[in-house]
Amino acid sequence: MSEEQIKQLLTAFTAAADLVEKLAPTIKELFEGGEATVADQKNVKDAMDRLRSSDAFSGPEWKVG
């Protein structure tokens, strides 16, 4: 494997790590519990409304193969 390929792989996995890291606050909140503020509740409701109203699985990323 060339150095360039290694760099590309590291970039790909760093991007993956970033994605999971981005979700860490949500995970932390789920685990720790506590009070869901009015803003928290609005964010969850808005996300749920978006999920219901959109065709969330129509993009090319959802195509098998």
Partner 1 sequence: MRNLVQTFTHRWVHPWAAVACLALVLFGLPACKKTTLAPGGAYTDVTLYQTDKTITSSEALLHSFVSWELQNRTLLAQWPEIKKVADAVRGQAPGAIKAAIAARDAYANAKTAENANTLSITLTTLKALALQASVSMLGGT
Please name which of 44, 8, 9, 51 lies closest in space to residue 26, comparing C-alpha atoms.
Answer: 44
Tokens of residue 14, six digits: 């760093």
- Contact code string over 9-38 relative to partner 1, x by CB under 8 A: xx-xxxxxxxxxx-xx-xxx-xxxxxxxxx
**Is residue 2 at the binding interface for partner 1, with CB under 8 A as the rule?**
no
53 binds partner 1 (CB under 8 A): no
Cα 54 to its chain centre, rounded Å, is 17
Cα 63 from Cα 18, distance rounded (Å): 23
Contacting positions for partner 1 (CB under 8 A): 3, 5-10, 12-21, 23-24, 26-28, 30-38, 40-42, 44-45, 47-48, 51-52, 56-57, 59-65
